[in-house]
């Protein structure tokens, strides 16, 4: 027996799976090896006998390896089977999923188109709603523009489908709210204009009354001052006359010899009296003139103050109007930019209104 010889022939490939998968299926091959071992009687005392023992042991080992290799190959082949099965399963799944997608693609595209249309309609219908706070805070011009815009909206039933009734209702409700708000706003603006007119008339009357009262008081003060001064002049004149008369009498008693001189003195005194009276009259007239000038100056000063106050009111009103016009110009530019960017005019107006009222965080309009 050579070193390359196995003790038993391995099962053929075509029947190996059945042999190895049967309990004790390799028993015949084991019995072949066992019979050869049992029939082997070497002489341990000789070198040839010992070599024969070693050769037999190696043959048993080779038989073990040969039989085990067949089983190992079967197991390796069987392990490839699940991989092949899984690969085929995956190919079938991928193919059928692709066919499923191919078959359903028209339905998916139709459903996506319908969903997009529904979203577009919902957005469009949503634009028919206006915030009640915006309506209540809007002025009459904005409300009239909004009413015109909503009246021009066409509700296309064929395109809207089931949303037509809701769109018509929203349009009608919004128009009703806008018209009601416009009526109230116009009434409010008319009332405010009337109140402004009445306030202006009242202020004008009060101003006129103040000016007339100041003039009357100034004239009264001038009259009293003139009368007091005239009275003082008359009293002074009377005292001078009395003193002159007493002096004349004394002179007449004491200086009879100086009659001519006394007469001249009396004539001079009379001339002085006339001059004094003339001066008193001139001073009275001057005082009256000063009083009239003071009254006129007071009236002029009050008129200047009133004119300055009126001019300030006009200046503030003009500044407010310019500021409002400036804001409208900027808002109109923003509106046009929004519309040019793809927004509807109504959405653009609402966006500008919300930003101008600072209801959008971190967003503002630079005026």
Same domain, 81 and 166: no
pLDDT at site 3: 34
pLDDT at site 155: 66
Average pLDDT rounded to a whole number, residues 12-24:
85
pLDDT at site 124: 46
Same domain, 40 and 167: no
Instruction: pLDDT band for 252, please (50, 70, 90 cuts).
Output: low
Instruction: pLDDT band for 356, please (50, 70, 90 cuts).
Output: confident
Q: Is residue 113 included in any domain, yes or no?
A: no
Angle at CA 55, nearest 5°, toward 53 and 58? 110
Instruction: pLDDT band for 338, please (50, 70, 90 cuts).
Output: confident
Least confident range from 14-18, 75-79, 144-148: namely 144-148
For 146, residues 6+ apart whose C-beta sits below 8 A from its C-beta are 130, 138, 178, 346, 349
Number of domains in the chain: 2
CA dihedral 139, 142, 148, 152 (to 10 degrees): -140
Same domain, 237 and 326: yes
Tell which wins on pLDDT, 119 or 133: 133
Percent of the chain at pLDDT exceeding 90 = 0
The mean pLDDT value of the chain amounts to: 80
Domain ranges, residue 225 = 132-356
Sign (positive or negative) of CA dihedral 249, 254, 256, 260: negative
**DSSP letters spanning 95-112:** HHHHHHHHHHHHHHHHHH
Q: Is residue 255 included in any domain, yes or no?
A: yes
For 283, residues 6+ apart whose C-beta sits below 8 A from its C-beta are 229, 233
Instruction: State yes or no: pLDDT of 134 exceeds 60.
Output: yes
Same domain, 159 and 91: no
């Amino acid at each position: 027996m050579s070193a390359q010889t196995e003790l038993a022939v391995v099962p053929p490939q075509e029947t190996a799976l059945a042999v190895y998968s049967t309990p004790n299926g390799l028993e015949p091959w084991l019995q072949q090896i066992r019979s050869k071992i049992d029939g082997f009687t070497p002489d341990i005392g000789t070198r040839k006998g010992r070599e024969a023992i070693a050769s037999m042991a190696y043959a048993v080992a080779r038989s073990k390896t040969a039989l085990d290799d067949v089983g190992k190959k079967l197991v390796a082949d069987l392990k490839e089977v699940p991989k092949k099965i899984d690969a085929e399963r995956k190919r079938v799944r991928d193919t059928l999923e692709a066919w499923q997608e191919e078959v359903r693609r028209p339905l998916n595209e139709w459903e996506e188109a319908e969903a997009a249309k529904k979203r577009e309609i919902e957005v469009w219908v949503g634009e028919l709603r206006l915030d009640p706070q915006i309506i209540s805070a809007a002025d009459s011009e904005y409300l009239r523009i909004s009413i015109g815009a909503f009246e021009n909206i066409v509700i296309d039933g064929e395109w809207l489908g089931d949303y037509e009734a809701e769109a018509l209702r929203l349009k009608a409700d919004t128009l009703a709210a806008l018209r009601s708000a416009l009526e109230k706003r116009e009434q409010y603006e008319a009332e405010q204009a009337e109140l402004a007119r009445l306030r202006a008339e009242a202020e004008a009357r009060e101003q006129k009354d103040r000016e007339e009262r100041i003039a009357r008081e100034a004239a009264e003060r001038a009259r009293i001052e003139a009368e007091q001064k005239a009275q003082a002049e008359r009293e002074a004149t009377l005292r001078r006359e009395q003193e002159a008369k007493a002096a004349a009498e004394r002179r007449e008693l004491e200086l009879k010899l100086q009659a001519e001189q006394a007469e001249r003195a009396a004539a001079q005194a009379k001339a002085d009296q006339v001059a004094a009276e003339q001066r008193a009259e001139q001073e009275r007239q001057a005082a009256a003139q000063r009083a009239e000038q003071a009254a006129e100056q007071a009236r002029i000063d009050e008129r200047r103050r009133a004119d300055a106050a009126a001019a300030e009111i006009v200046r503030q009103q003009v500044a407010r109007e310019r500021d409002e016009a400036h804001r409208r110009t900027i808002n109109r530019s923003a509106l046009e930019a929004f519309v040019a960017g793809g927004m509807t005019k109504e959405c653009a107006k609402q966006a500008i209104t919300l930003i101008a009222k600072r209801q959008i965080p971190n967003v503002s309009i630079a005026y």
